[in-house]
Amino acid sequence: MKIAVAKYAVGNPADFEAFAARQRQILREACGAGVELAVLPEYLSLELASTFAPEISRDLNASLAALQTLQSEWLALYADLSRELRLVIQAGTFLTEVAPGRYRNRAWWFAPDGKRGYQDKLQLTGFERDAGLIEGGDELKVFDLAGVRAGIAVCYDSEFPLPVRAQREAGARLLLVPSCTDAQAGATRVRVGCMARALENRMFVAQAVTTGTADWSPALDTNTGEATIYAPMDHGFPDDGILATTRGGQTWAIADLDIDALERHRAQAQVAVDLDWDGQKAPAFRQARHS
């Protein structure tokens, strides 16, 4: 399975048509490389806030309310592109109103046969909590995408091992991580989380990122990181666990994933954290004793 993860330079589209044209352009690039699945970053849809007046785009509450008027067009755009390009698309996230003035950070995926689904972000960052508008999700899911069972962990969620472990135990062998971080420390935290989830679950992890600046947005103001596809650090895979990563102005990191190799190499694994996982649940390990 050939996949691509985006390093998406945040722009300032004049209207929805300009936004849609850019999505079509970059996804056609991925499709031209023979990709079956493309992953876009968290908060990408907030780029659309620039289409509103400055007093709206600079105010998170106002911009989220205004964006709801574009949600149906946004959903239709990626559904159409998925069918047109015969490409599975994980379209980053759209902050979706679920109650008056309350939003969930929702990561949608679209398949060429018309199927679609989403995973809500579970854990909130300090920025999201402090905004007072966003709430965490209450359901954990896995999906079958292009013949591979996958889960989604939105940015901060990739730093929490237990929900991802539950996705792995539900059959996921690929974790999609749409992310958005404003500082190098944040980018490092998500990168380390992705690497840890790949190691402990013997799975592939595909992280998309935003990059650049958007001083008109309180959420997309500064962005950093590299889009990367990770594998377990073991026989048959790179020693550093990195299958592909963006450099400089690259938009896409692309890699072929050999899902069968995850199982084939298990018997010869140097370490088997996935198989030894339950060892840490021994009663004697549940509480540390001071000695």
Residue 226's pLDDT is 97
Residue 49's pLDDT is 95
Residue 231's pLDDT is 96
Percent of the chain with pLDDT over 90: 88
Neighbour-count burial of 222, counting CB atoms closer than 10 A to its CB (0-12 exposed, 13-18 middle, 19+ buried): middle
Residue 261's pLDDT is 85
pLDDT of 107 above 80: yes
pLDDT tens-digit series, residues 21-43 = 999 999 999 999 999 999 999 99
- The alpha carbon of 55 is separated from its chain's Cα centroid by a whole number of angstroms, namely 29
Is pTM beyond 0.85? Reply is yes
Domains and CATH numbers, the chain: 2-268 (3.60.110.10)
Closest CA to 4 of 32, 28, 36: 36
pLDDT of 269 above 90: no
Residue 262's pLDDT is 85
pLDDT of 214 above 80: yes
